[in-house]
Structure 1
């Protein structure tokens, strides 16, 4: 099987053959020049032979396209390659400039439609305890610390079920209701911001706007927590 198709490291000659269909003028000396300029860094065998990966070939292709189609100087190409190395992505078509990728939706943040949707579920404290894996006394403790808020009829809705299940998981890590009070404080402040954003509005439009603002608040909260965890690792 030819080395170009075997998924193995490529020699400089194989790299030239892989690129020649798109770049007829590419040569071994050109690839070595790009290496000398620090634009591609192949590995070396013990005997000193260059070994190029598929990523190396893609990198060289990017450089050659930038030179041919955009007439970019090496300085600009180097800056864009540095951006690509930092997780940015190249543009499409004739625009090869590195740019920040669109972040993937955070699975921890409910979509706007989920925040708009309502449920008629109502649970007694015993049912909530059974559904969440908590003891009734632990449910009462969460109510006492403001984490759970039963309705006027004493029943708990879907939000309380989610809180109770999360609290049960955190209890397994040694975090009790008294430790979770800051979450209620932060949540109440975020709700206050949502209410401020929809002040004076009524009806479905206000409900939808509130859900959109809440979604953005939750996205911000999750991003800050993720960023904080990276800072502690």
Structure 2
């Protein structure tokens, strides 16, 4: 469970506003369980209606303990159940109304177990966002986005929409830019990621082509598992090359 900075219920919560946190404080709390979460991701989840933080007169976001707890639930359901945001929002809203509901899919397979999903159902669709939503969530302008696209860091699909992960990519590109690492320097990372994706796709391609929807859902889960292992290996190799311990 996501813990608030107070470390326990009631500690300092009686004071007016004591339970409210800035977006930076929320990020620090969430990263204990979700190290890859970014401010851009939190803003995007807000734009999708998953949370509604308070606003100060000057427009700054202020999050309650309930907001942080809800964010934790959202991130956990994305990570463990691979659910699209629409399904997560409907599920949490139903829970808050006191309705007895269950998740439409249960977790990642263990040791070759199939995904517990109705065979008649397709795997959940990937959440997408429009260009305007991406600009707003990432806090960038049209010119910046066009530059990143020219280097292949982001790309819309045939309908002009982006995968929700584009918000995370945009946030990381922005953070690296603060250190003088521009889009042109990141082309090598993009090329390496595409090669790794090709390797993973070779492994799961037979499952993706299967006619059974449950098998195809298993392919998606296996893809995520392999991607996670690839990311961990990349981090370990980078850590060894630099001779430092990464957080």
TM-score, normalised with respect to structure 1: 0.48
**More relative contact order, 1 or 2 (CA 8 Å, 6+ apart):** 2
Rg comparison, structure with higher value: 1
TM-score, normalised with respect to structure 2: 0.46
Q: Which has the higher helix share?
A: 1
